[in-house]
C-alpha cells in the first residue's frame, strides 16, 4: 500500500523501479527487527562493562567492588546471546548499528536505571525467570519503544522503517512474553516471507493493482453517490483497489481473509469515518460481485 501511495505522490509510472523499492523496503523490515532486538543485548553488555570498569577504580566504593549483578545476569539477556537463529541473522544481515552509535545504548540504559521497573526489580533479592522476563517486557514497552531519541535515530537511518516500527515492536513484545527458560531455539528470527509463493504474491498484488487501477476504481466510484471521488482520501482509494484486486484476481484467497486484512489496514491508516466507509463499500461490493458471479473463488470454504 505504501509503495502504491508513493508512486502516486511522486507521479511515477516506473513499475520496475517502484517494485525494486518495494522489495527493498520489505527486506529492511528484518533489519529493523534485528536492530531493535539487538538493542536489548547491547544494553545488557553495556551495563556489564560499566560495572566491571567501576570495580577496577582505584578508589572504588564497596558497592562498586561488589555490585548488584542481578540486571546483567537477567536470563533473557543470556537466552538472546546464546540463540543460534539470532546470531546467524545478525551476522548475515551485517547488523552492527550499535557499534558506531552506542551513545543511544547509554541513553537507553540510563533511562532504564531511572525507571520504577528497574528499581523495583533490583530491590528484590529473589530471582526467577518470570520476574526476569516481565522486567524485559516492561522495559521494552515502557522505556525503549517510547524513547524519542531512538525513534529519531531509526527515522534518520532508514526512512522506510517509520511505518514498520509499530509492527516490529509488537512482534518483539509477543516474542518476549512467550519466551521460556529453556536454552533452545524456541526464540526464532521471523522470516520476511513464509515461502517463495508469499514473495510471488506480493509482486502479483502490487503489479495487478497498479496496472488495473482504472478498472478497479470503477467498481466502487459508481457505488459512492454521497462521496465525490475527489473527496475520498487517496489512502482509502488504494485500500479499496487492493481489496477489490484480491476479490477479482486472486481466486485462492478467501473473501473473509481479504475483508479482515483491509479493514485492519483501514483502521491503521485511515480516519474512523473512513474505515467505516471502507467497511460499508467492501461489504456491499462482495454481495454484488457474488450476485453477478464476477468473483469466483476456487476451493472449499473460500467464500
> Nearest 5°: phi and psi at 226?
-90, 0
Average pLDDT over residues 9-30: 86
Task: Quick: pLDDT tens for 265-295.
Answer: 888 887 777 788 888 889 989 999 888 888 8
Angle between helices 234-249 and 255-269 (to 10 degrees): 170
pTM of the full structure: 0.82
| Predicted pLDDT at 301 | 43
Residue ranges of domains in the chain, CATH in brackets: 27-177 (no CATH), 196-291 (1.10.940.10)
Position with higher pLDDT, 117 vs 162: 117
Nine cell digits for residue 191 = 522470516
The pLDDT tens digits of the residues spanning 196-240 come to 899 999 999 999 999 999 999 988 877 665 555 555 678 888 999
Nine-digit cell at 295? 468473483
pLDDT in tens, 34-90: 999 999 999 999 999 999 988 888 787 888 788 889 999 999 999 999 999 999 999
CA distance readout (Å), 12 to 3, 77, 172: 11, 46, 35
Is residue 158 packed enough to be buried (19+ CB in 10 Å), middle (13-18) or exposed (0-12)? middle
The yes-or-no verdict on residue 300 having pLDDT over 50 is: no
Contacts of 131-136 spanning 24+ positions with Cβ under 8 A: 132/74, 132/75, 132/76, 133/75, 133/76, 133/176, 133/177, 133/179, 135/74, 135/76, 136/40, 136/74, 136/76, 136/77, 136/176
Nearest-CA neighbor of 142 among 164, 111, 107, 104? 111
Side-chain half-sphere exposure of 179, counting CA atoms within 13 A: 27
Residue 183 pLDDT greater than 80, yes or no? no
Span 125-167, pLDDT tens digits? 999 999 999 999 999 999 999 999 999 999 999 878 988 999 8
Amino acid at each position: 500500500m505504501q509503495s502504491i501511495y508513493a508512486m502516486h505522490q511522486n507521479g511515477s509510472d516506473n513499475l520496475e523501479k517502484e517494485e525494486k523499492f518495494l522489495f527493498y523496503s520489505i527486506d529492511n523490515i528484518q533489519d529493523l527487527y534485528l536492530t531493535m532486538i539487538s538493542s536489548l543485548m547491547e544494553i545488557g553488555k553495556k551495563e556489564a562493562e560499566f560495572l566491571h570498569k567501576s570495580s577496577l577504580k582505584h578508589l572504588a566504593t564497596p558497592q562498586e567492588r561488589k555490585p548488584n549483578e542481578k540486571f546483567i545476569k537477567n536470563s533473557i539477556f543470556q537466552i538472546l546471546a546464546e540463540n543460534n537463529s539470532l546470531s546467524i541473522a545478525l551476522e548475515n544481515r551485517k547488523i552492527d548499528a550499535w557499534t558506531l552509535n552506542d551513545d543511544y545504548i547509554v541513553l537507553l540504559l540510563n533511562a532504564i536505571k531511572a525507571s520504577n521497573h528497574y528499581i523495583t526489580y533490583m530491590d528484590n533479592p529473589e530471582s526467577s525467570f518470570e520476574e526476569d522476563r516481565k522486567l524485559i517486557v516492561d522495559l521494552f514497552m515502557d522505556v525503549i519503544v517510547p524513547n524519542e531519541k531512538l525513534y529519531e535515530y531509526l527515522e534518520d537511518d532508514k526512512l522506510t522503517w517509520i511505518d514498520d516500527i509499530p509492527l516490529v515492536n509488537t512482534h518483539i513484545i509477543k516474542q518476549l512474553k512467550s519466551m521460556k527458560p529453556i536454552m533452545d531455539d524456541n526464540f526464532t528470527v521471523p522470516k520476511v516471507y513464509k515461502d517463495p509463493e508469499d514473495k510471488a504474491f506480493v509482486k502479483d498484488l502490487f503489479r495487478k493493482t497498479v496496472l488495473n487501477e482504472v478498472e478497479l476504481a470503477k467498481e466502487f466510484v459508481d457505488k459512492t453517490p454521497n462521496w465525490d471521488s475527489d473527496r475520498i482520501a487517496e489512502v482509502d482509494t488504494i485500500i479499496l483497489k487492493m481489496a477489490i484486486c484480491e476479490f477479482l484476481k486472486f481466486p485462492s484467497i478467501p473473501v473473509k481473509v481479504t475483508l479482515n486484512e483491509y479493514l485492519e489496514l483501514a483502521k491503521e491508516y485511515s480516519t474512523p469515518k473512513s474505515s467505516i466507509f471502507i467497511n460499508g463499500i467492501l461489504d456491499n461490493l462482495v454481495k454484488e460481485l457474488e450476485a453477478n458471479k464476477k468473483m469466483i473463488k476456487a476451493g472449499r470454504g473460500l467464500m
